[in-house]
A and B are shown apart, each in its own frame.
Chain A
Amino acid sequence: MADANAFNHPLHLTPDLYLRHWDTETLVFNAASGDTHLLCGPAAQLLRAIETQSRSLPDDPDTLITKLRGLGLIEQAGS
């Protein structure tokens, strides 16, 4: 597991997200864009960790963080 402290700024979910967690899946509705995303495996784990401010992130989270930011689901606090 990587440590959230490895990042210069803590991450958080963008506003207007609606989430459902089902087993290893996380369903996200982004009310700002109208898009719905189904995340599985490490991507779902990462989103849950950010949502709960957990310190443990999946291995090698950088690529996933870039993808989730690209989808508009997470951002750096204060941005």
Chain B
Amino acid sequence: MILGELSDNELKDRLKNAGVILRTGPFIFRIKSNLEPVHRGLARLYDQFPLGDETGFVDFDVQVHTPLWRRVLHPQARFLVDGQAPFQPLPADQAFAMLEWGLNYCVYAHAHQYLIIHAAVLERNGQAVILAAPPGSGKSTLAAALACRGWRLLSDELTLIDPARNGQLVPLARPVSLKNASIDVLRRFHPSAIFGPLAHDTSKGTVSHLRPPDNSVARMDETATASHIIFPQYSPDATTCLEPLSRGQAFMQLAENTVNYSLLGEEGFTQLADRVEQCVCHHFRYSKLEEAVDVFHRLSS
């Protein structure tokens, strides 16, 4: 059963009571919430995701809720995972963005069976491209554009490398987080794109999430082999340019973007070095999304 098969009332009821058991890639979340943006965001962006067994095992028990006494005056959203609150409360209208950040937190803070790179990853024709860059580089915008042009989205935020499966990349297929001007850029680039609730005045500015392609969600159990590691940089006046990067430089930049590199020690080094060895590595500067997508199409053809 998928989430979209629940009626609106069933979804609301589950969120408020037993919780929605949602599977995204290898993780099962129980999600509870009494906040409308969470209900709206899940209904709009997660409708194709499979629901887990209500009595079965879950990896993370999460809640985004507003306490009774905060529902009227300056309502707040609190995120809890297994009863703990890792973040400060946020305004209630940021609840869906908070859920997304919270789900990311669950993965990067706990799933150390994987080497986790803060990077987007997409696949086309059997070739998976890792897009690694610090926030503000245009990584998610580029990932969203590629997903809108037929690339399979594995993740816009967390690249999971599985040492137990020979370094295969494990999909999450969750919505793409876009900020500020990128939201309108994507609306113009792909007018039929579906977005979740807008969250204004967050610590990152205005945030909205793009619905992942149905095909990416349907293939969330299908791992991919990394073929390219690319460090994108958006610059308003840049000419589209792909420049080779040495393996050593690529490794060092990738390690800086790897969440648990130090924690995994020798295993982290070996996995990362093996991925660099099997990939072609580039810097990529761009300003025009259509040109950028063309470059990536050529890479994967």
Chain A residues with a Cβ under 8 A of chain B: 18, 20, 22-23, 25-27, 29, 31, 34, 36, 38, 40
Contact = CB atoms under 8 A, between A and B. Distances in A.
Contact of A38 (B249, B266, B270): B249
B299 interface: no
A36 B255 CA distance: 9
A29 B246 contact: no
Interface of B: 246-249, 251-252, 255, 262, 265-266, 269-270, 273, 277
19 contacts: A18-B266, A18-B270, A20-B251, A22-B247, A22-B277, A23-B246, A25-B246, A25-B247, A25-B248, A27-B247, A27-B273, A29-B266, A31-B265, A31-B266, A34-B262, A36-B252, A38-B248, A38-B251, A40-B248
A27 B251 CA distance: 9
Contacts of A26: 248
B153 to A, nearest CB: 30
Contacts of B255: 36
Contacts of B247: 20, 22-23, 25, 27
A36 B277 CA distance: 16
A69 B246 CA distance: 26
Contacts of A36: 251-252, 255, 269
Contact of B273 (A20, A31, A34, A40): A20
A20 to B, nearest CB: 5
A23 B277 CA distance: 12
Closest 6 pairs (CB-CB, A-B): A25-B248, A29-B269, A22-B247, A38-B248, A20-B273, A31-B266
Nearest to B268: A29
A36 B258 CA distance: 13
Given A18-B269, A38-B252, 18 more contacts: A18-B266, A20-B247, A20-B277, A22-B246, A22-B247, A22-B277, A25-B246, A25-B247, A27-B248, A27-B273, A29-B266, A31-B266, A34-B262, A36-B255, A38-B248, A38-B249, A38-B251, A40-B248
